[in-house]
Chains A and B, each alone.
Chain A
Amino acid sequence: MSESIVVDQLSVSYHGETAIRDISFSIESGNIVGVIGPNGAGKSTLLKSILGLIPKDKGHIRVMGKSIHEIRKKIAYVPQRSDIDWDFPISVLDAVLIGRYPALKIARKPKKADKEIAVHALGKVGMADLKNRQIGELSGGQQQRVFLARALAQQAEVFFLDEPFVGIDIGSEETIMAILKELSANGKTILVVHHDLSKAKEYFQKVILLNQALMDFGEAEDVMQPETIAKAYEGQLSFLKELAVES
């Protein structure tokens, strides 16, 4: 398998405060990777700097052997649900159609073929019936599926999802996981910021354990050991209990 995401010695700071430091890892294409760590560990920062949204202090990032600048249209980003204005006057279908925008030149309008791709993506996530709804009229799980459909419509090579399973129903969670597994089987690379330790082993092939520095990276089963997690979460006892109950 080819290297999909290579991060080398990455450090990022906000207003002089270090958010992440000296992160290095490399992921082969076709992997579903969990990004796990306590609050303020820099999980979203890592995602955003790989997306080229925030400036880095030092380090290199290559995606599919190219710089972010060259490959950015092939990276799909599914934002946290709390980052979206759900009162925005936009229908489900039009929100998914935005996934086609990266492929369109500036000032060009989406064509019939783009609409068909969007409708197809909605069908995949089981939302075709609701395509004319306003996005705020959906349940949390449906909203998350709409944004996954948008990522599918983008026909990306790399998918970033920020806390996709927060506050959604189990059915939607299963649908989303099934689609992510299918994408990975087709050689796409998926990075998921995730906070629920109990499901990490089940959902991800690999895990990036983060707490400003890279605490551990490897096969999910190896990383998700109580001692390793305890070190990363230093003192956040509720998480330790959660893990103890599971094992």
Chain B
Amino acid sequence: MNFLEAVMHYDFLQKAMVTSIVVGIICGVIGSFIVLRGMALMGDAISHAVLPGVAISYFLGINFFFGAVTTGILTAIGIGYIGQNSRIKNDSSIGIMFTTAFALGIILITLLKSSTDLYHILFGNVLAVRPSDMWMTMIIGVIVLVSVYVFYKELLVTSFDPTMAKAYGLPNNVIHYFLMTLLTMVTVASLQTVGIILVVAMLITPAATAYLLTNRLSTMIFLASGFGVIASVVGLYISYKANLASGATIVLVATLLFGITFIVSPKHGVLWKALRSRRKRLSY
């Protein structure tokens, strides 16, 4: 049976496929803003910081979406507070807060649940996606896409020229925490496919790949989503065929796409850059 037939035949593969595609799209969209705002480390931090929230949600018997978003946002606020109210630089503040949240999460999960669950949350298990998880991912997908479409102008100007945005009266802080909220939601959705540890790869790598190919934000967002989907689907296929860990496989496909682009991108690739400078040298 080939992969396509297997997808048609097995319900769990269909759910895995749908979830992967949605996660690929929204990671590309939010990742584009994370990359342009120079917040890759923040993306890594927030994705780790959802862990204690997931544990507390299990404990309270509520959907882990709520706990995850809560601890994600609390961590973002903590990072901002330390950075603004002391001489500690932002990257150090991020380092302190997210490791704290992550460590707390590990302890909570080992207290409450078996270590198998911890493994799945950390590394993802796309082939075990439940229908409720799939629906949650789709709802998150709709919320993220609608939010970015509606507030595109505000996200653009606060990313490109925060000084002007503040000068004409935009609440930059609110927009920052709004983006952080979307980021935690994307992380929750990605828990299924790549897991907490590797979410940042899905946020950064496809968006960075797109950044090397275009000079337009809207195009960058579409390309990043496209690369996210390709990485998800191809990664899922390979992991199914070769029986490899799905999250890690998806991430390595994304890296491969980045590697190829890094070399051959017409404008920013190292290959054409080398050729151009060689041609220039020869013309003298």
Contacts and interface: CB of A to CB of B under 8 A. Distances in A.
A12 interface: no
A171 interface: no
A219 B163 CA distance: 31
Contact of B168 (A73, A88, A89): A73
A91 B154 contact: no
Contacts of B161: 79, 84, 98
Interface string A73-110: 10101010001110011110011001001101011111
Contacts of B220: 89
Contact of A107 (B36, B150, B163, B168): B150
A168 B154 CA distance: 30
A215 to B, nearest CB: 27
Nearest to B268: A87
The 10 A-B residue pairs with the shortest CB-CB distance, nearest first, are A134-B215, A102-B168, A51-B167, A107-B150, A89-B215, A77-B167, A89-B217, A89-B220, A72-B169, A88-B160
Interface residues of A, number: 28
Interface in B61-116: none
Contacts of B36: 85, 88-89
B255 interface: no
Interface of B is mostly: helix
Contacts of A94: 216-217
Contacts of B156: 90, 98
Given A72-B168, A89-B36, A109 B153 contact: yes
A52 interface: yes
Interface in B133-187: 150-154, 156-157, 159-161, 163-164, 166-169
Given A53-B167, A89-B217, A109-B152, 4 more contacts: A73-B169, A90-B216, A101-B153, A107-B154
Interface in A35-93: 51-53, 69, 72-73, 75, 77, 79, 83-85, 88-91
B217 A79 contact: no
Given A53-B166, A53-B167, A79-B164, A89 B153 contact: no
B214 interface: yes
Nearest to A151: B164
B169 A102 contact: yes
Contacts of A73: 168-169
B211 interface: yes
B164 A98 contact: yes
A47 to B, nearest CB: 10
Nearest to B215: A134
Contacts of A101: 153, 157, 168
Contacts of A69: 169
